Amino acid sequence: MVREIGATGVWDADPVWREAFARVPRHRFVPYYYLDTRAGRERMWGERPDRAHRERWARGAYADRTLATRLRDGTLVTSSSQPSLMARMLVDLDVRDGDRVLEIGAGTGYNAALLCHRLGEDHVTTVDLDPEITESARTHLAAAGYRPAVITGDGARGCPERAPYDRIVATCALRSVPVAWLGQCGPGARILTPVSTGLLALTVRDAANAEGRFLRTPAYFVALRGETWDGVSDDDLLETHAGALPRRAVRDDLFRFLFSLTAGRLDPREALALWQHERFPARERFGVTVRGDREWAWLDDPEGPYVWELTDG
């Protein structure tokens, strides 16, 4: 797994992360997971008596793919993200020795363990709404020798009691950036979070102001759930309009990103016209600005002609 990820060149900018992936055992964080097969979902379990099954489980644990780890009424609740995407996000988080990091979405605890290896467990806080998830993550982390702060709470509210943070990284999808996060960061802090199906990298100016662009990397995560977040991805809205749009657009990853980012502000035909007029803009042409209670997405220029409010402020 480490060799395969390294072949992409992702660690050239910060080779310390290669050591973290080589030293933190992913299999301890996925004692079981689910695979989609023709016969339905198959539960892979590391302690099953059948040796062949255990070997398949181990190979899957170190495959460069997302692993579904918790289902509830047939719906995916949490997963272990694709390791190469995790590597890209950790490099793009641009941490420095001594940085304090808040992770939104504890998942299996694997990402928090990688952060602990890099920065030390006293510098890492991970938050999740679901007490079953946090308890499981805490158990996995302890088994691997790491004891960061694992907090049960609404990720949209951050974790003020452990602030301030130099970095915030989210491993769940959002429709906008919670302003509470900015107030828990110091000036110059970096926030890396999935918004729509892209990765947004924000630089925090102060408790009410931040701005940044999307990275080239696509990102598909389970939506954030909380008291003020319903867990519904705007990307789902495209499916209800698919019949009115060209098949090429519906299947195009960049159009789906644009439509999701502007959902509720542009109708499908307006989104299609913009996509075509701007020659199928890549993610990195888009950005987000936060100023007080107002938050908006933009294409090319935060004060330009193409802006879409992400909040109702």
Q: Which residues are catalytic?
A: 81
Locate 60 and state its tokens: 């899957």
DSSP secondary structure code for residue 220 in this structure: -
Place of tokens 């950036």: 177
In the numeric block, which tokens belong to residue 62?
A: 């170190």
Is beta strand 75-80 parallel, antiparallel or unpaired with respect to 67-72? antiparallel
Residue 7 · residue 19 · CB < 8 Å:
no
DSSP category for residue 153: S
Q: Residues 55-78, buried b or exposed e (16+ Cβ, 10 A)?
A: eebeebbeeeebbbbbeeeeeebb
Residue at 306: amino acid letter: Y
| Sign of the Cα pseudo-torsion (71, 109, 159, 296, in order) | negative
Using alpha carbons, select from 71, 69, 73, 228 the residue that is nearest to residue 153.
228
The sign one gets for the Cα dihedral 244, 246, 250, 255 is negative
Q: Which helix (H) or strand (E) holds 72?
A: strand 67-72
Do the strands 209-218 and 286-291 form a parallel or antiparallel pair, or are they unpaired?
Answer: antiparallel
Residues 6+ apart with CB under 8 A from 183: 158, 160, 163, 207, 208
